[in-house]
């Protein structure tokens, strides 16, 4: 499956989870230390909005603080939908996967940034599912695609501090469990 389709499917899977958050769950804890459900969803929505900006050629300085704070307002599902559409559209644009993106870790090709956004949306979807008691098994095809991206970068990602300490899992575990373990999560 190509990366664009993986990203779109992850956006859709996470959207379904966002839509099923009950009103009384927005302040529930998630596997992301210090983040409740609303903070987690806000992070994903803001990430989508950042992707729409940076993959369209803007710099961090040009975006400034416009996407800081609460981007969910009174309708988190509508905010998610708008951000997911924007992120998907920008990466589907002609030349987007080759165009450099001025992300915080240096300019990278759009395809690299897309891979990182795919992983972020997929794994935070799992975090959201766990935090809200929804089914949390990752789609095996998407998890395998994410493993292919994360695997070569596992040491780099661990050193970034953005993920928890690696969790050992059996080598024959399903792709979702292996991915979560690499990123410091217990399935």
Question: What's this model's pTM, rounded to 2 decimal places?
Answer: 0.95
Measured from the Cβ of residue 180, the count of other Cβ atoms closer than 10 Å reads: 26
- 131 and 151 together in one domain: no
**Which tokens hold the place of 155?**
């040491």
- 52 and 22 together in one domain: yes
CA distance 106 to 149: 18
- 125 and 171 together in one domain: no
pLDDT at 21 over 90: yes
Number of residues assigned to the chain: 187
Q: Which of 116, 136, 156 is the last residue of a domain?
A: 136
Number of domains in the chain: 2
**Residues 114 and 7 sit within 8 Å (Cβ to Cβ):** yes
- 15 and 76 together in one domain: yes
**Percent of the chain, pLDDT > 90?**
83
Parent domain of 178: 137-187
- 56 and 99 together in one domain: yes
CA distances from 13 to 55, 73, 122, 137 (A): 22, 22, 8, 11
CATH of the domain at 122: 1.20.120.450
- Range with the poorest average pLDDT among 23-27, 51-55, 91-95, 165-169: 165-169
pLDDT at 10 over 80: yes
Q: Which of 101, 119, 136 is the last residue of a domain?
A: 136
Q: Which of 136, 161, 177 is the last residue of a domain?
A: 136
Q: What pLDDT is stored for residue 93 in this prediction?
A: 97
The 10s digit of each residue's pLDDT in 147-174 is 999 988 877 766 666 677 888 999 899 9
The 10s digit of each residue's pLDDT in 96-143 is 999 999 998 889 999 999 999 999 999 999 999 999 999 999 999 999
């Amino acid at each position: 499956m190509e990366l664009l389709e993986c990203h779109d499917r992850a956006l859709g899977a996470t959207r379904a989870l966002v839509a099923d958050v009950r009103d009384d769950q927005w302040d529930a804890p998630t596997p992301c230390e210090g983040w409740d459900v609303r903070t987690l969803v806000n992070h994903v929505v803001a990430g989508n909005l950042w992707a729409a900006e940076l993959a369209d050629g803007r710099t961090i300085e040009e975006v400034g603080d416009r996407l800081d704070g609460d981007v969910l307002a009174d309708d988190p599902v509508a905010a998610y939908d708008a951000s997911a559409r924007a992120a998907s559209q920008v990466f589907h644009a002609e030349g987007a996967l080759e165009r450099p993106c001025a992300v915080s870790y240096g300019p990278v090709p759009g395809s690299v940034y897309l891979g990182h956004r795919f992983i972020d949306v997929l794994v935070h979807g799992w975090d959201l599912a766990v935090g809200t008691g929804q089914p949390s098994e990752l789609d095996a095809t998407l998890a395998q695609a994410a493993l292919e991206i994360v695997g070569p970068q596992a040491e780099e990602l661990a050193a970034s501090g953005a993920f928890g300490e690696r969790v050992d899992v059996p080598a024959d575990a399903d792709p979702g469990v292996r991915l979560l373990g690499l990123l410091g999560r217990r399935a």
